[in-house]
């Protein structure tokens, strides 16, 4: 019996090393499993997107390698970025990014000391909505404004990152009110707090609250988009309609990689993402369902795009004292 046990252990070790050997034999990139880091906790907008991308890639065999989603929440995405920066080889780690994360890279100085992050691709543009729970007394955005004017600081908006906070600060400035904000690790946590009436309002991307809006648990009071969103958000007016044209936001959803990724790897992943964005699954299960807008940009176009949008968002943050 003793011998059998030892034998079995040898077997386990042997099988393990086989895996290692098999991976070492492939010469072309990617020759190792890839990590896709989500700098937010499970269940939020970035997480939903990352898991869908991985599922599409694996289902359609767009890449020969396994891709693992790794959640690194905390510090408004700084924990995730420093995790990416800690990787010795930049070619095997991707991460999801969005405008909020780009902002926090500047606020928390979480960029790599080795240089700028590598831009892979822009996948879509996401919208932002101002939400309350369905049984709250605030039927319209004006109800909320009246209440906060009567009682400054008494109403709280749940935010999951600095961009959400920037949205609230913009409302506060444009409408001359004083909403209180509280930080949560993810939109999932904000919706839990909203449904339990622990906070009055929350900032969401449509995809993060669509199930609860359809289910009649949450009510959308206003949208930060330039035009009204599709169903089930069509009833919510834009801030411009409400008389605050200065309150407008759309955020980019993208894939980036650590500083110093090879050109070969950058183009490889840009191509894979282009294939992902062309699938019906992506269009139906993500873009349409979660109320986003299709906007694919490859590695080079996205590099230009991001430089410009980063400049704008940093300016906005500076003007209100976030930076």
Partner 1 sequence: MNNFELLFQGFTVAFALPNLIAALLGGILGIVVGAMPGIGAVTGVSLLLPMTFKLNPTTGIIMLAGIYYGNMYGGAYSATLMNIPGDSPAVMTALDGYELTKQGKPGKSLFAGNVASFIGGSIGIIFLTIFGPLLAEVGLKFGPAEVAALIFLALTSIGWLLGDDPVKGLIASGIGVLLSTIGIDGASGLPRFSFGNMNLISGISFIPLVIGMFGFSQVMEMMQPGSSTHAEPAKRLTLRESFLDRSEMKRILMPSLRSALLGNFIGFLPGAGGTTGSFLAYVMEKKVGKNRAQMGKGAIEGVAASEAANNAAAVGAFVPLLSLGIPGSATTAVLLGGLMMWGLRPGPLLFESDPTFVWGLISSMYIGNLVCLVAGMAIIPFLMSFLRIPTKIMAPIIVIICIVGSYSVNNNMFDVWFMIFAGIGAFYLKRYAFPIPPVLLAFVLAPRFEISVRQALSISNGNAMVFLQKPIALGLLLFTFALLLAPVVMKIVAKIKKSYK
Binding residues among 133-192 for partner 1 as defined by CB under 8 A: 153, 156, 162, 180-185, 188-189, 191-192
Quick one: which segment of 17-25, 100-108, 123-131, 303-311 binds partner 1 (CB under 8 A)? 100-108
Query: Which of 45, 46, 63, 72 forms a contact with partner 1 (CB under 8 A)?
Result: 72
Structure tokens at 108: 């928390």
Q: Is 99 in the site for partner 1 (CB under 8 A)?
A: no
Q: Is 283 in the site for partner 1 (CB under 8 A)?
A: no
Nearest distance in Å: CB 162, partner 1: 8
Query: Which CB atom, from 249 or from 258, has the smaller least distance to partner 1?
Result: 258
User: Which residues in 38-57 contact partner 1 (CB under 8 A)?
Assistant: 41-43, 47-48, 51-52, 54-55
Query: Considering CB under 8 A, how many residues would be counted as binding partner 1?
Result: 71
Q: Is 23 in the site for partner 1 (CB under 8 A)?
A: no
Q: Is 1 in the site for partner 1 (CB under 8 A)?
A: yes
Query: Which of 17, 26, 64, 86 forms a contact with partner 1 (CB under 8 A)?
Result: 86
Exposure on the CB side of residue 157, measured as CA atoms within 13 A: 31
Query: Which of 215, 226, 243, 246 forms a contact with partner 1 (CB under 8 A)?
Result: 215
Q: Is 24 in the site for partner 1 (CB under 8 A)?
A: no
CB atoms within 10 A of CB 19: 9
Can the peptide bond before residue 30 be classed as cis, meaning omega within 30 degrees of 0?
yes
User: Which residues in 221-280 contact partner 1 (CB under 8 A)?
Assistant: none
Q: Is 291 in the site for partner 1 (CB under 8 A)?
A: no
Query: Which CB atom, from 47 or from 126, has the smaller least distance to partner 1?
Result: 47
Query: Which CB atom, from 107 or from 316, has the smaller least distance to partner 1?
Result: 107
Query: Which CB atom, from 202 or from 239, has the smaller least distance to partner 1?
Result: 202
Q: How far is CA 245 from CA 26, 116, 237, 283, in A?
A: 55, 33, 12, 30
């Amino acid at each position: 019996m003793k011998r059998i046990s030892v034998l079995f252990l040898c077997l386990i070790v042997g099988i393990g090393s086989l895996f290692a050997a098999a991976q070492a034999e492939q010469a072309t990139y990617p020759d190792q499993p890839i990590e896709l880091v989500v700098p937010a906790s499970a269940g939020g907008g970035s997480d939903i997107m990352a898991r869908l991308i991985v599922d599409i890639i694996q289902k359609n065999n767009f890449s020969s390698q396994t891709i693992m989603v790794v959640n690194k929440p905390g510090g408004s995405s700084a924990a995730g970025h420093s995790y990416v920066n800690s990787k010795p080889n930049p070619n095997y780690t991707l991460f999801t990014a969005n405008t909020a994360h780009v902002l926090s890279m500047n606020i928390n100085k979480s960029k790599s000391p080795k240089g700028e992050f590598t831009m892979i691709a822009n996948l879509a543009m996401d919208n932002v909505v101002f939400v309350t729970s369905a049984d709250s007394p605030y039927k319209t955005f004006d109800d909320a404004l009246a209440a906060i004017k009567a009682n400054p600081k008494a109403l709280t908006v749940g935010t999951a990152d600095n961009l959400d906070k920037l949205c609230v600060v913009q409302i506060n400035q444009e409408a001359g009110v004083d909403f209180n904000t509280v930080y949560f690790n993810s939109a999932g946590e904000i919706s839990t707090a909203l449904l339990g009436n622990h906070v009055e309002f929350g900032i969401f991307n449509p995809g993060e609250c669509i199930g609860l809006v359809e289910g009649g648990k949450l009510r959308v009071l206003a949208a930060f988009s330039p035009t009204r969103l599709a169903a089930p958000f069509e009833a919510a007016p834009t801030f411009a309609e409400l008389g605050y044209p200065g309150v407008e936001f759309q955020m980019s959803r993208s894939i980036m990689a650590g500083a110093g990724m090879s050109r070969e790897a950058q183009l490889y992943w840009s191509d894979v993402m282009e294939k992902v964005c062309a699938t019906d699954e992506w269009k139906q299960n993500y873009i349409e369902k979660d109320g986003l807008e299709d906007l694919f940009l490859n590695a080079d176009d996205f590099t230009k795009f991001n430089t410009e949008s980063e400049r704008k968002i940093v300016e906005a943050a500076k003007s209100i004292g976030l930076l």
